[in-house]
Structure 1
Amino acid sequence: ENDNCSGATMIEANEDESCVASGSGTLVAATPSSENNSCGGSADDDVWFEFTAVSENHAISLYNIIGDTLDLYHVLYEGDGCGNLNQIYCSDDNNSTANDLTVGNNYFIRVYSFTANELSNLTFDICVFTVPPPISTSTTLYTVEELVTDVLIDSECNQAFNVTSSTGSDFGSTNGIGYFESNGSSWPFENGLIMTSGDVANAVGPESGVLVDGTYDWPGDGDLEAFIPGLNAGDTNNASIIEFEFVPVSNSMSFDFIFAAEEYGTFQCTFTDAFAFLLTDSSGNTTNLAIVPGTDDPISVLTVRDDQYNSSCESVNAEWFANYYGPGGLPPLTSPTNFIGHTEVMTASATVIPNEVYTIKLVVADDGDTIYDSAVFIDGGSFDIGQLDLGEDILISSGNALCEGQEIVLDAGALPNNSSIEWFMDGTLLEGETGVTLTVNETAFYSAIITVDNTDCAYGDDILVEFFQSPQIVAVEDSIIKCANEGHTLEVNIENSDQLNSLTYIWTLDGIDLQTGTDNTYYLDELNEESGEFTVTVFDDITYCWNSITINVDFYENSYCVDLPQGLSPNGDGFNDCLVLDHLEAKEDIDKIEVFNRYGTKIYEMNEYVDQWCGVDQDGKVVPVGTYFYIIYFNSTKEPITSWIYVNY
């Protein structure tokens, strides 16, 4: 149906380098078309496709080609109709790039087999995608020393020195050391250091063929040969080397990198170039940091590969292989570099001793020849020799906060030699805090600044520390005196309950569990003479933060919570002069008291009685020695009580 221009199959142009939208075609029963064609091959079996440009630059890719011939040709046209087409270019390659297109205009693609074939059974897929920009490189923007101190380490307190280097330009060949930027491409690193066994300038994508830069006058490296299994002395050529000393300020160092190589695919089981990151301590012990994670294998094409791109070559550590820009892989035009394959981002790391001088040698070289180049890309600013790191913020929202009252120790790590540290809380200097640790128990922004003596070097870090709130418990009554035969309810309230989760209350008496649950009250049974220190502990069910308070409870044995004296001696000596009902809570409930002599005559009455009767009658006259009776009336529904008392002087 797309055998001619007027029946062209519409395919969608992708806005990025993916081929999410694509088309398919076949040359079965295809016939020639009348449109002009100045390209090569025999267009006797052409089919047509049409797309609308969404970018000024697009790539056309023919792939998954199956049939009696695999040699396809395609032609790109522009025009406002099939009768008015202008030929833009021809391509015998299955991948081509169309530049300077007009966004929104329609373009036509004519596909046919290069050779004359009236009965072709060929099928294929076709994709139009937006060509991503490649990386950019420079060998002049930075000196090698600046690549180390300003790009690789990028620290205000750079402690790297004695930088040396060697590459092809030192031997009349190409420059294999330089600077790169992602340039808006899909390359994982924004910028950094590139070291290659070829030419930095030719590392710019897309993938366009084998890189073969370098001459035999450009030597290899003996240290690399000594550390890589299978290499013999003199095996390497075209070594790019950077070596420098540095002083770590913490107990670890690390940096991120990607290894890229031209041997991936066809030669990934037989050939590989070599590279190493050789770290040497002050005692002369050297370790290669360029190791496949979880193994002792040096990273190379042989130790990181995927059989998806060479079925006769078994995968090794394929999880660390990222992209292949060749047959069966991604379209070469989408490669941000000119290398056919590369690894995932890896991290070289080591445990080090703070304030000790270390030497590191970064080296990459060709093995056995000067072709099929390789490269190492090191992420700019990732060379970490121990910046101050107080850790991630400790936040309630992250769930890693502690409870109020608990302590968190902030640790600044080791200090560089001849340096000092200051700690701040919400921007205010904490006087006297000059150690590398700070213990905190309050929500605040904390920061530390390290200053190297007699320099302009100062660096720091800050951290927000939050604490989960603990229940703020308030007792309705914090001290209670109750009657032995009266019930009473202990109750607490949580002042900050709106900032907490569900709560659990644990009631105990002198350490013995009484009640656990969601009830903020505990009832004292009137039949149970409970007294002592009642403790209620309240837990937040989510954060497990808690708090507790104690309520003191005492009781009186008299059923109405009053003491009923049975002897009175009102002689003015200050002892037992008056009828005292000393239970305060009970007295608040007393309505009045009436006193009678032994003949039943009422001699005294007092409303809201406290302790006013001291052996006198209503007129204030002293009563004679003898036995007297009194009645206590209550405001509540309690029945009045009676008792007797003997008065003697």
Structure 2
Amino acid sequence: MKRHRLYTISIAIAGLFMLAAEAKAQIVVDDTLTPEELAATLVGTGVVISGVTIDCHDGGYAYFECVDCNVGMESGIVIVSGPATEVEGPNSGSGTGMSMGGGGDPDLEDLTTSTTYDACILEFDATVTSDSLQFDYVFGSEEYTTYVNSSFNDVFGLFISGPGIVGTQNLALVPFTTTSVAINNVNPLENEEYYVDNGVGCTPSFGGCTEDWLTAPYTTDDYYIEWDGFTTVLTARAAVTPCETYHLKLGVADAGDGILDSGVFIKAGSLSSPGVNISYEYDIDGYPEMIEGCNNGELNLSLSFVATDTIVVNLEITGTAGNGIDYSNIPTSVVFYPGDSLITIPIEAYEDALAEGVETIIITGELTCAIAGDSIILQINDSYPFDAWPEDTIICPGESVDLQASGAQVYIWTPINHLDTTSGPLVTSTPEETITYTVLGHFYACLETRELTIHVEESEADAGPDAVIYQGTSTELDGSGGVAYSWTPAESLSDPNIPNPEASPEEGTTYYLTVTTALGCEFTDSVNVAVLIEPQVYIPNAFTPNGDGTHDILRVLIFNEVTPLSFQIYNRWGKKVFETGDISIGWDGKVGDKEQEIGTYMYIFVGLDERGNEFTMNGTITLLR
């Protein structure tokens, strides 16, 4: 009856080999795993498996990885009524498959009205933790959609048997029904919400479907797997007895003939029996860490079922925090009595004022059947993450700085000096001198403080000491305290932009120095330079002691406030010939009564100026007759 499909198969296989060199499959299969390795990939939480067997034709089972494909799972196992490698995309033909010459399976034949062929069966025992057992799967086939509602109703079964289950129960059911998942039960015409079309479409015809022609992207993009249709990801579930062992049988077979193939994907890690679940509820909603002294909470141990008998859950308490030392004591076991499904244990993190960093509590729950249960890691912080900044800053006088804090709900700043406000996460300070502020943060019942210091840079500007100069002379100013300098007035300075310019004022002047620091602050200082008129002392450069009454006496003439101390005259051999401290007394050109010879003599005059500073003048005079 299905011989016409052989022609389709030959075309599809030929096309597949032509594309093999060009297409890179996005679903990759590995058929080298042993049955034990294959079954182990399915194991998730709360399940231990044993006694793995497989009854299948060569190449009919494999491990798969979905790098980027439309099957809806990342990885798992695939069991096929033909070669497992045929699932690799793209969907280059709608007749992929071949008869493997294998027989059927009686349990699978109970799910269909047709004879089964090429059955592939994986079986193992599973010991469970809780009252439920589940795993995720996808059924797919090349029978879609031409043979919908025909006798070629390829099927698969996920059978379970064991304590509390009468006979053998099929878990591969259409959600919320007792109907088995098969070609005729999940398709575009029935339970279509669980069906995924892979490019062939369906035009209703005589109670079935007429396929459309396969086109791109299904035939060119290896995102699409080879099979013409498949289900969405479905979940098989069974009610079981905790700590008991059950037998599972996972199988698929062709129905009606062995030509077009079908198979089932089972998700890696999805075979699970969720047992005790451990969770934690914190006092501060939305803050998932304990805080010493203020954010405690409750440890919740819950079963996925209501206990019908006494169930003991052993708790392994580890981590860097000490049980009963850093937090209130957690028992090493708890007991669920009949009717219980939740046990709550309050935990308080003790405030010890020690800087310990983040500490951990690791809690692992195990049921008495020694199958690993759930675990949780709790963190204990010394304090909540309260922060404030800038912690230490420096500003220029007159400047303002923004002080900020985060992590709290309420902020209080002290002292109030120079602040624009004393509450909120942002305040502005304009201090006149260095000051330290304290911000107190309230986070629910948690209190934290931080200190922020604002340094106000102090002036080190120094224009140097005051100076007194004589008119017509200069003095070097001595500025310091910055990295840049500016002197005013600039007219009588050699360079107003250096720290030590030469000042040559004609009259008494106050110079103002502005220094700029490395921080950019500007400070000023001043210096006074007094200008004195130079002492007016006149000593003639010649005299004629010849008795004619003119220039006979050499005298010192003083015109302003000068106090003479001494006036000395030396001959050319360095012999002192005259000395006086009284300028009213002059030299008559004699030593004693002896006239000195005509020639040049040297003089030294010592006196005090109007400020009391001693000064000296020297020069030469000529004695003539």
TM bracket (short chain): 0.3 to 0.5
Larger radius of gyration: 2
| TM-score (ref. length: structure 1) | 0.44
| TM-score (ref. length: structure 2) | 0.46
